[in-house]
Chains A and B, each alone.
Chain A
């Protein structure tokens, strides 16, 4: 347990008084241990969400965990690694004989209490909102931008949307060849403006962390090319978790223009023809907030998942 010693002591005391003991009896999925936080954030977040904990974004943690060699290999072999992933993804997941065993293998791999780089713990990442992405940028300080390997491998398109964090970004600078225009270094303001731009475009912000709690990249993803979103959406592999928010629609403000329906990559937003209003299925919503950016009437708000009893353990 690499960061257990750094947990916020006050937080632990408070949770053990109020929520931890109470929730022990009806702890179904193992997520409600910390009251408002799921067990991964409780373990790794130091009282915050795991990706907003400064330590998890730091170069120091990565070096402590000994990822320097891994990072070098990752950038050296990125074309090969991602290329193989893109090619084998369809072969594996589209074959019904291979789909179930592969899913079971991945789920067994990530449902462990302690992870390594190759066999991670819990999950591999999460959908986040643009505000949270901006906070990550603020914590991270200087931010790098490289080409999205998923879209390059899957569609031969060069899109510069990936933001490696901490050590991952520092190592990327050693291999500027990977990005044909080199690795861009953005200031915090530039990065924030870029995140807003992505939000307008309808790209889903995700944060990747393998193994928890080491967060290594902030991505702006797009179905179906993304090798994180596609297995989750098409094949229901729970390696990428839903975000900490759920989109809710103010039905009185909605004018039924369908902007949100066009943007939603998860099939959560639909149009009700009789009412001429949109509808967002909270069970399908991943809480990315792309619909909120698209709505001309400002009818969509993001509600914290823990405030909704039915959905608070729906990741």
Chain B
């Protein structure tokens, strides 16, 4: 049965997306991308977000949910 997978990153709960990155490390399908919101030439970006850019690749292993210390990642599934 086809399912619709939804991977969500809650910015308010995530403490330090630029340093932690546990979700990026544990994901076997490279779903997450760390993305700097203030990209400018010749300047180190300061604010980052985690974007589940490739959530289509998600296999529902829930490793990211287990690995996140702040429970900032929500994986939900519903029948399409």
A83 an interface residue at 8 Å Cβ cutoff? yes
Partner of B56, one of A83, A90, A180: A90
Partner of A79, one of B40, B54, B80: B40
Assess whether A87 is in contact with B42, with CB atoms less than 8 Å apart: no
Partner of A86, one of B35, B41, B80: B35
Assess whether A96 is in contact with B54, with CB atoms less than 8 Å apart: no
Point out the residues of chain B lying under 8 angstroms from A96, CB to CB: 4, 80
Max chain B CB contacts within 10 Å: which of A80, A94, A156, A224? A94
* Bound Cα distance A180, B33 (Å): 21
A89 an interface residue at 8 Å Cβ cutoff? yes
A76 CB to closest chain B CB, in angstroms? 10
Assess whether A90 is in contact with B41, with CB atoms less than 8 Å apart: no
Assess whether B42 is in contact with A177, with CB atoms less than 8 Å apart: yes
CB 8 Å contact bits of B36-79 with A (1 = contact, 0 = none) = 11011110000000011111110000000000000000000000
Q: Which of A211-237 contact B (CB under 8 A)?
A: 224, 234
Assess whether B51 is in contact with A234, with CB atoms less than 8 Å apart: no
Point out the residues of chain A lying under 8 angstroms from B22, CB to CB: none
A-B contact pairs, 21 of them (CB 8 A): A79-B39, A79-B41, A83-B37, A83-B39, A86-B33, A86-B35, A86-B53, A87-B35, A87-B53, A90-B53, A90-B55, A93-B56, A94-B56, A96-B4, A96-B80, A154-B33, A156-B36, A177-B42, A180-B42, A224-B57, A234-B56
**Given pairs A156-B33, A177-B41, 4 additional interface contacts (CB within 8 A):** A79-B39, A83-B37, A86-B33, A154-B33
Which A residues contact B (CB, under 8 angstroms)?
79-80, 83, 86-87, 89-90, 93-94, 96, 153-156, 175, 177-178, 180, 224, 234
Which B residues contact A (CB, under 8 angstroms)?
4, 33-37, 39-42, 51-57, 80
